[in-house]
Copies of this chain bind each other. A is one copy, B any other.
Amino acid sequence: MTAEKWSDDPKTDAGPIISSRVRLARNLRKYRFAPRLSPEAARAMIRDVAGAVRDAALPGGARLRMIDPRDLTESVRAALLEGHAVSPEFLSGGAYSPKALLLSDDESVGIMINEEDHIRMQAVTPGDDVDGAYAIADGVDDVIERGVEYAFEPDFGYLTACPTNAGTGMRASFMAHLPGLALTGQAANVLQSAAKFGITARGIYGEGTKPVGHIFQISNQVTTGKSEGAIIALLRNVTAEVTGREKAARKALFSGTNLADRIWRSYGILAYARRLGAEEAMEHLSDIRLGFEEGILNIARPKRPIYNLMINAQPGRVRARASGETTDAETDVSRAECLRSML
């Protein structure tokens, strides 16, 4: 674990929005879609994409490392997944093989090659900055397009293996910490009404997962029929509404002293526990993130952003730091140790 990931940026702690992300799906015209691509052709396709970015100047001076997922240890795979650098589908192997990953050192720019589409590139920015993320993703897209020909039809836009991604091929999202809505029981309602606008919300680790740590991914569901700019504007509006309700919910919560007590206890437990499960750790980290943001915890902040602690509390990261195989109980001990040392 080096200390220079995008998740180390204190902007991730500045408000309910932890980070912004833009993901673009692209395919190369001269190859079949991934489901029907032979291993030989996949290798050639990977070379084409890698060649397009190899010597190019990327936005923000990003340098991409080429990674073969088959070379990764189990704990590094889990750590990449927990850090949202890759999708579970990318690591699950199986159908589309071989694959490759181009990843910047701070993990803010990543290109998965031969996932469901030939190219899934993403750019992440810390805090509330979806425009910044789009600018980076768009820049990377331009670079690649200089070296390869995309599958693109004027009537449809970009073609994708699954039609639900066609058109812009774009998924823009915010990672939002919404303890106020969650603790007042309003989260489901508020997020369901977002669905009316084609905006969906799900737990931090993908569809169908529980929103651990009260963290939600809010993203556009629909990729066609609107320009990239219009989709981002809609996402931004809906998210502003959601975070406005989050703030109102917090105000209501703080009218008692119970929440302050809960937050301080969470701090005490994180600072002293000798064993912490991942889920419990996330609960407490959610509490203290809220506490620092709302000024309840009027003490020095940890050196790293809380979101970074959350990532580092995930099982894969904890195991990656421990040497050798560890049992669940040992992982809980390491997690507690790590969080204590970071607080």
Q: How far is the CB of A271 from chain B (nearest CB, A)?
A: 5
Stretch in A3-11, A164-172, A256-264, A315-323 with 4+ CB within 8 Å of B = A256-264
Let me know if A250 is at the binding interface, CB within 8 A.
no
Stretch in A21-29, A110-118, A219-227, A272-280 with 4+ CB within 8 Å of B = A272-280
Question: Which residues of B have CB within 8 Å of A271?
Answer: 268, 271-272
Q: How far is the CB of A305 from chain B (nearest CB, A)?
A: 21
Question: Which residues of B have CB within 8 Å of A333?
Answer: 257
How many chain copies? 2
Let me know if A269 is at the binding interface, CB within 8 A.
yes
Let me know if A265 is at the binding interface, CB within 8 A.
yes
Q: How far is the CA of A270 from the CA of B269 in the complex (A)?
A: 10
In A285-329, the 8 Å CB interface with B consists of: 329
User: B273 to A268, Cβ gap below 8 A?
Assistant: yes
Q: How far is the CB of A141 from chain B (nearest CB, A)?
A: 48
Q: How far is the CA of A276 from the CA of B38 in the complex (A)?
A: 65
Chain A 326-340 per-residue mask, 1 if CB under 8 angstroms from chain B, else 0? 000100010010000
Q: How far is the CB of A241 from chain B (nearest CB, A)?
A: 32
- Size of chain A's interface in residues, with CB distance under 8 A? 18
Question: Which residues of B have CB within 8 Å of A329?
Answer: 257
Question: Which residues of B have CB within 8 Å of A272?
Answer: 264-265, 267-268, 271
Q: How far is the CA of A263 from the CA of B287 in the complex (A)?
A: 22
Q: CB < 8 Å: which of B264, B269, B275 contacts A257? A: B275
Question: Which residues of B have CB within 8 Å of A258?
Answer: 275
Q: How far is the CB of A42 from chain B (nearest CB, A)?
A: 48
Residue in A258, A267, A271, A274 with the greatest tally of chain B CB atoms within 10 Å: A274
Question: Which residues of B have CB within 8 Å of A268?
Answer: 265, 267-273
Nearest to A273 among chain B residues (CB) is B265
Q: How far is the CA of A261 from the CA of B272 in the complex (A)?
A: 8
Q: How far is the CB of A90 from chain B (nearest CB, A)?
A: 36
Q: How far is the CB of A283 from chain B (nearest CB, A)?
A: 14
User: B269 to A274, Cβ gap below 8 A?
Assistant: no
Question: Which residues of B have CB within 8 Å of A273?
Answer: 261, 264-265, 268
Q: How far is the CA of A113 from the CA of B284 in the complex (A)?
A: 54
- Can you identify 13 A-B contacts, CB atoms within 8 angstroms? A257-B275, A257-B329, A258-B275, A260-B274, A261-B273, A261-B274, A261-B336, A265-B268, A268-B269, A268-B271, A268-B273, A269-B269, A271-B271
User: What is A's interface to B at a CB cutoff of 8 Å?
Assistant: 257-258, 260-261, 264-265, 267-275, 329, 333, 336
Q: Besides the contacts A267-B272, A268-B271, what 4 more A-B pairs have beta carbons closer than 8 Å?
A: A260-B274, A261-B273, A264-B274, A271-B271
The 10 closest A-B pairs by CB, nearest first: A268-B268, A268-B272, A261-B274, A264-B272, A261-B275, A268-B269, A265-B273, A264-B274, A260-B274, A267-B272
